[in-house]
Amino acid sequence: MLCVTDKPEEGNAFGKATLADWQQVHGRLPPLLVRYLLSADQGDWFTRLVAYLLWVKKNAQGPWPMYINMLPKVDELTNLMNYRPDELEEFQSASFAALASQERTQIRDLHETLFSSSSGELKALKLADSLDDTVWGCCMVNSRGFSDVVNGETVSLLVPLADMANHSLSPNAAYRFNVEQDAFEISALQDVEVGTEACISYGCTGKDNRGLMRDYGFALPGNYNDRIPFSAGDDIASQLAAKAAGGTQGSQGRPSLDGWRLMATLGLGGRPSIGRYNLDTAADAARGDSEQDVAQRRRLAAVMSLNPFLRFPGLPRPGSGTAGIPEWSQTELQAERRSIDALLAQCSSMMASMPTSVETDEQLLAAAAAGGSGAGPQMNVRRQQAVRVRLENKNLLLAAQAVLQQYADSLS
């Protein structure tokens, strides 16, 4: 394995000693690389592990060439930093495109200042002849690196073969560094049937699909952390748009929904804390891969997206359904309906801003999976992944529309 630590100085379990052991087995490393790997103040664990991997890729013998050959090639990587500008359009999302180009800029800087064989600080090591080499190394460490805290020391590792385990919201296996055995272990958390995939948790349970795409290059169907970017309607752009459209949004102001009534209608329990409704418990109960769990997580993410617009009159109210919620006057009812309509209109306009339909996206993915020509010759792995992401974004909007419609129907 390749290992770097946050405390590489002598005397720590995984610093100098580990590097010395590695060299005994696999051969000497150049002094410049050893100095870089052991200097805590020069670069963080991430850049040190990338440097280590890039050197191993080009130079190490023994089992390393076989491992490197098993790793995906740069063309196969779907991490956001690897997207080209024309491929970014496939996300149909300004926020994914913005994050991707920010990532690309950062990686170009890192390449030029550190890894580049012609200009970087480590140029004598000839680690990266092109930007693609640096992108590859960074994506590998981002998406395949493990980290663990052992005796107070944070270790970051690349562990051949162990890094084949995929991420699951309901993992049946877990990893740890076993200090007594001096071994990295993946062990089952439960009985695992023959033929069942062993999955671990990447420890990314709080990441939305943008974060997952940035770090790993995949997105989760029904990611509970995803949020619809509803506008409060009080920013200048919305006010101007509302004015141009006849002033309805401006005159109505920020949408506001009765949180108690909405949750009772949707059959959701829980209560708000620190001004924010929390559905983590319900999301925790729907961590499986079944369509039902995916749909439930989307619905919960849709409700959580409405959080900024929820009010909870008469806090604290026990979660006892609609019982005890006072009758509304016609004026109050109309105000509530206007807010629902305003939020539904935002869903429709976000949906309309994406050029393809759910059906088209599904057909494109089915054609790509079947390997037919329906997806067109341009449908490389990054484009396919972007289509999956935009389809997920649309499904989240559909879930929000369903939630809002259910609430609207309950008021009539």
* Site residues (vs ligand SAM, CB under 6 A): 72, 143-144, 163-167, 216-218
Distance in Å, CB of 279 to ligand SAM, minimum: 22
Rounded Cα distance, 339 and 323, in Å: 23
CB of 282 to ligand SAM, least distance (A): 21
Q: Is 206 helix (H, G, I), strand (E, B) or coil?
A: coil
* Residue nearer to ligand SAM on the CB measure, 144 or 382: 144
CB closer to ligand SAM out of 20 and 369: 369
**H/E element holding 252?**
helix 248-252
| In the complex, least distance from residue 163 CB atom to ligand SAM, rounded to whole angstroms | 4
Residue 99 or 263: the one with the smaller Cβ distance to ligand SAM is 99
Nearest to 299 by CA among 349, 335, 341, 263: 263
- Which residue's CB is nearer to ligand SAM, number 216 or number 260? 216
Residue 54 or 389: the one with the smaller Cβ distance to ligand SAM is 389
Q: How far is the CB of 383 from ligand SAM (least distance, A)?
A: 15
Closer CB to ligand SAM, residue 261 or residue 388?
A: 388
**Which CB, 218 or 312, lies closer to ligand SAM?**
218
Q: Residues 6 or more apart from 237 whose CB is under 8 A from it?
A: none
Nearest distance, CB of residue 72 and ligand SAM, angstroms? 5
Residue nearer to ligand SAM on the CB measure, 265 or 393: 393
Distances (CA, A) of 71 to 136, 141, 200: 10, 11, 19
Radius of gyration of the chain (CA): 25
Q: What b-and-e string marks burial along 74-108, b requiring 16 or more CB atoms within 10 Å of the CB?
A: beebbbbbbbeeebbebbbbeebbebbeebbeebe
Closest distance between ligand SAM and the C-beta of residue 213, in Å?
Answer: 10
| Shortest CB 315 distance to ligand SAM, Å | 38
Q: Are 82 and 143 in contact (CB under 8 A)?
A: no
Q: What is the DSSP string of 137-180?
A: HHHHHHHH-EEEEETTEEEEEE-TTGGGPEE-SS-SEEEEEETT
Euclidean distance between CA atoms 194 and 108, whole angstroms:
44
Choose between 124 and 164: whose C-beta lies nearer to ligand SAM.
Answer: 164
Give exposure, 211-242, as e/b (b: 16+ Cβ within 10 Å). Answer: bbbbbbbbbbbbbbbbbbebbebeeeebeeeb
Close Cβ partners of 57 (under 8 Å, ≥ 6 residues apart) = 64, 68, 137
Give the nearest distance from C-beta 166 to ligand SAM in angstroms: 3
Give the 3-state secondary structure of residue 200. strand
Sort strands 257-258 and 310-311 into parallel, antiparallel or unpaired: parallel
| CA end-to-end span of the chain | 63
Q: Which residues contact 403 (CB under 8 A, 6 or more apart)?
A: 266, 299, 302, 303, 306
Phi, psi of 169 (to 5 degrees): -70, -25
Is the Cβ of residue 198 or residue 295 nearer to ligand SAM in the bound state?
Answer: 198
Q: Collapsing DSSP states into helix, strand and coil, what is residue 3?
A: strand
To the nearest 10 degrees (0 to 180), the angle between helices 381-411 and 259-266 is: 100
* Cβ atoms 264, 322 nearer than 8 A: yes
CB of 217 to ligand SAM, least distance (A): 5
Instruction: Give min distance, CB of 1 to ligand SAM, in A.
Output: 14
Q: Which residue number, 160 or 308, has a Cβ lying nearer to ligand SAM?
A: 160
